[in-house]
Amino acid sequence: MIAQDMVAVRLTEPSPLTVVGSPAYFARRGKPLRPEHLSEHACINVRLFGGAVYRWMFKERSGQGDPRSFSMDVKGPLTVNGPATCISAAVSGVGLTYNIASVVEPLVRQGLLEPCLEGFLPESPGLFIYFPSRRQMLPKLRAFVEFWKEFGGR
């Protein structure tokens, strides 16, 4: 939850989320066709700052009405503290990882990772920086926000 008096500055554009694994992993285990099939796969988990494990989010689009959003706990041989370790482990063939598509896209282009479950993945709203009212903005923060607005989107 974000307090109503917070100011938001967009840092990145929205990006689809993705589930990826290495070609070697998929050669051994096959690709899941539906999120429910992840129970048969080795998934790499991320532990959040509060200690909880991140739940993977999905969106199922049916021919009628709005898509159904749901999240899942996944199981696997590895739980890490950050997305860089997840990506490294996925490239090494440890299992599948869940990430922002634009982050792993260079590795997909290089053939080190392959996506799956494309029809079930929602879009990340992107990254934002949040801070209280502009009146109380520290000079360092004001400089960063002004810099980002001028150069960050390039």
Residue 131: which region, alpha, beta or left (left: phi > 0; alpha: psi -120 to 50)? beta
Has residue 152 got a pLDDT over 60? yes
Q: CA 91, CA 23: separation in Å to the nearest integer?
A: 9
Tokens of 107: 């590795």
End-to-end CA distance of the chain: give it in Å, rounded: 29
Q: Check the CA dihedral 28-33-34-37 and report its sign.
A: negative
CA pair distance 81, 70, nearest whole angstrom: 23
Segments in 30-110 forming alpha helices (H): 83-91, 101-109
**Tokens found for residue 54:** 């991140």
For the domain made up of 13-130, give the CATH fold: D-Maltodextrin-Binding Protein; domain 2 (3.40.190)
With a cut of 90, say whether residue 26 has pLDDT above it: yes
Lowest mean pLDDT across 5-14, 25-34, 54-63:
5-14
Identify the pLDDT of residue 48.
87
Indicate the pTM of the whole model.
0.80
Count of CA atoms in the C-beta half-sphere (13 A) of 58: 21
**H or E element that contains 6:** strand 6-10
Residue type, 70: F
Using one digit for the tens of pLDDT, what is the confidence trace for 86-135?
A: 999 999 999 999 999 989 999 999 999 999 999 899 988 888 888 877 66
Six-digit token pair at 8? Answer: 């938001």
